[in-house]
Amino acid sequence: MSKHIGLSVEEIYAHRFRGREAQRQKIWSVLAGYFQQWVKSSDTVLDLGSGYCEFINNIRAKERFALDLNPITSAKAVPGVKVISQNVCQSWAIASGSIDVVFTSNFLEHLPSKEDLKHSFSEIHRVLRPGGILIAMGPNIRFCCNIYWDFLDHYLPLSDRTMTEAIELAELQIEKVIPRFLPYTMARKNPPSPFFVHLYLRMPVFWHLFGKQFLVLARKSAPAF
C-alpha cells in the first residue's frame, strides 16, 4: 500500500503523530514489556506493519524484523532491527518457517480489501515456524463503531469475531481472544502516561470498561508424529 486517498503513508503518519512520538515511545516501552511474556529472548520476531518501530525497538529477541512500506520505518528502527520495505499485499521477502512470533498492532484495518487480509494471514501462516505464535491487536468495531471511521486510512471493519474467523480459515489455532483490551487510540492531543498504562495492564477489571481494541493470540500447529 503506497498511497491512501491521495496521501502517502508517511504523510498521514507524520500528521497524525506529530509532537507525540516521544510519548508514544515511552508507552510502547511499557506495552512491549507486557507482550514480552509471549516472546523468548531466543525468538525471531516479525513486526507486521511496524510503522515507527515502537514495538520492535522495545521487544527483546534474538532477531527482529520490521515489515512496512512506510519510508520512515528504516529511519526509526534501532540498530539490530532489520527492515523489510515492501507492500504487504505482495509475497513477503521472508523465508518460510523462519519466524517464531508475528506481532501486528493497528495495521490490518488499513489493508485495502478482504483479499489483502486473507493474503496477509496466508503469509503469516507461511513464515511462522511450527509452534510459532501470532499476536494481533487492533480497534474492535463492535465497541467503537461511532469513531472507527474517523481515520481516513481505515478500510476494513474488523472485530475480535472477524479476526477469529479469518485466523481459523488460515489454519492457525486460536489460543486467546480478548475482545476489550486497550482503549481505542493514542492518536490524540494528550496520550496517557506510561505509568497509567502500566497500571491499566495490571488491572484487567478496567479493560471491560475502557477497552475498545481486541487482542488475539493464535498458534501454528506443530506437525503430528
Q: Provide mean pLDDT across the span 198-223.
A: 95
| pLDDT above 60: residue 218 | yes
Q: How confident is the model at residue 11 (pLDDT cuts 50, 70, 90)?
A: low
CA distance 222 to 225: 9
Q: What is the pLDDT of residues 162-180, one digit of tens each?
A: 999 999 999 999 999 999 9
Q: What is the pLDDT of residues 55-97, one digit of tens each?
A: 999 999 999 999 999 999 999 999 999 999 999 999 999 999 9
- Residue 67 sits at φ, ψ, to 5 deg, of -110, 115
7-21, 167-181, 186-200, 208-222: which has the minimum mean pLDDT?
A: 7-21
3-88+95-219 CATH pick, 3.40.50.300, 3.30.70.141, 3.30.450.40, 3.40.50.150: 3.40.50.150
Q: How, if at all, do strands 3-4 and 44-48 pair?
A: unpaired
| pLDDT above 60: residue 8 | no
Report field, pTM of the whole predicted structure over 0.85 = yes
CA distance 59 to 64: 8
Q: What was the pLDDT predicted at 17?
A: 53
| pLDDT above 60: residue 189 | no
92 neighbors 49 (Cβ within 8 angstroms)? no
Q: How confident is the model at residue 225 (pLDDT cuts 50, 70, 90)?
A: low
Q: How confident is the model at residue 224 (pLDDT cuts 50, 70, 90)?
A: low
Q: How confident is the model at residue 5 (pLDDT cuts 50, 70, 90)?
A: very low
CA distance 166 to 217: 13
